[in-house]
């Protein structure tokens, strides 16, 4: 059975790059990508992804708002922040959300790609 992954980033190019990265991980993955965070949140219950890759800086609903809505509705899906923000305050704020597993800055490097592979093995291994 495939593992469901949700990509939430207002940049279609970032979502495409993440799909390519995920395609290199030896796990059967069913990826759903969204450039509209409001639509993504509306699909969260239906898709129930094992992991959500979430950008912080998006229009309409930023990543923090997305996480706050998850918290308010009892959604505990695991989240990996994938953002261009290098702010130490943003990194620290992740501690408010126990479902956030990791915080990575874009662009992804080879080291980060390997780290993601380790997270997948640890978090999604059956």
Has residue 126 got a pLDDT over 70? no
Instruction: Output phi, psi for 30, to 5 deg.
Output: -110, 105
Cis peptide before 109, with omega less than 30 degrees from 0? Answer: no
CA distance 71 to 43: 16
Starting at the edge strand found earlier in the chain, the sheet holding 3-8 runs 29-34, 3-8, 51-54, 78-83, 100-105
In tens, the pLDDT along 38-56 reads 999 999 999 999 999 999 9
Provide the 3-class DSSP secondary structure of residue 53.
Answer: strand
Q: Please tell me the total count of domains within the chain.
A: 1
Does 125 reside within a domain?
Answer: no
> What CATH number does residue 34 fall under?
3.40.50.2300
Does 111 reside within a domain?
Answer: no
Provide the 3-class DSSP secondary structure of residue 19.
Answer: helix
Has residue 119 got a pLDDT over 90? no
């Amino acid at each position: 059975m495939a593992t469901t992954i949700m990509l939430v980033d207002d940049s279609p190019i970032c979502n495409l790059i993440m799909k390519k990265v995920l395609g290199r991980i030896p796990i059967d993955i069913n990826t759903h990508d969204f450039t509209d965070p409001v639509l993504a949140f509306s699909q969260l219950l239906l898709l129930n992804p094992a992991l959500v890759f979430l950008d912080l800086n998006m229009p309409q609903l930023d990543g923090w708002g997305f996480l706050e809505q998850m918290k308010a509705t009892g959604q505990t899906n695991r989240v990996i922040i994938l953002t261009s923000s290098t702010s130490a305050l943003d990194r620290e704020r992740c501690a408010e959300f126990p479902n956030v597993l990791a915080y990575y800055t874009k662009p992804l490097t080879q080291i980060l790609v390997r780290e993601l592979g380790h997270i997948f093995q640890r978090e999604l291994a059956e």
